[in-house]
Amino acid sequence: MLPPQDNDPNYNQKKRQRIPIENQGPWSAEEHERFLIALQVCPEGPWKSIAEIVQTRNAKQTQTHMQKCKEKLFRQHRRQSTENNNEQQPYTCIRSKHSLNLRLPTIQPIPFTPDTTGNNEISSEMLLLDDSPSTIPLEEALDFFLSLPNAD
């Protein structure tokens, strides 16, 4: 029996049509625009769906393109922050679509105020979790731990 390519003169054309066309190298403006549209449609993936919208790149290429875009934005943000040292603007974190759907409350970070006195020692007030009068004296707590049998 002859191989299929000898029987069908259009075999090579059919074979080429089955292989998806994937670009290599730098992304064109049109590809990047389709990529941004795909991110609006599927903000958290899957990468295969994003690649289907882009049409000229595979899932791995879209994933690495996203990583490079994030790195570029981070560099721009860092560059702007070094240029505007006097005007420090707070970094705003973009919430995910899922947290918005779940209506989770926004968590605000605790402001950090460095110790301006130069004293690096931890004060006893910071060590106490409960300032109520029912706290156990240190000697009594140590006696309790010493009375426990050794775990050795």
Q: Kindly tell me if the per-residue pLDDT of 81 is higher than 70.
A: yes
Range of the domain at 36: 26-83
Which residue did the predictor score with more confidence, 151 or 26?
26
Highest mean pLDDT among 8-17, 24-33, 76-85: 24-33
DSSP 132: S
Q: Count how many domains the chain has.
A: 1
For residue 127, being part of any structural domain is answered with no
For residue 64, being part of any structural domain is answered with yes
Pairwise CA distance, residues 150 & 91, whole Å:
50
CATH code: domain of residue 49? 1.10.10
- State CA 77 to chain mean position distance: 16
For residue 58, being part of any structural domain is answered with yes
Task: Dump pLDDT digits (tens) for 48-76.
Answer: 999 999 999 999 999 999 899 889 988 88
pLDDT at residue 85, as a whole number:
65
- State CA 128 to chain mean position distance: 36
CB 52 within 8 A of CB 44: no
Among 17-21, 109-113, 145-149, whose mean pLDDT is lowest?
Answer: 17-21
pTM for the model:
0.42
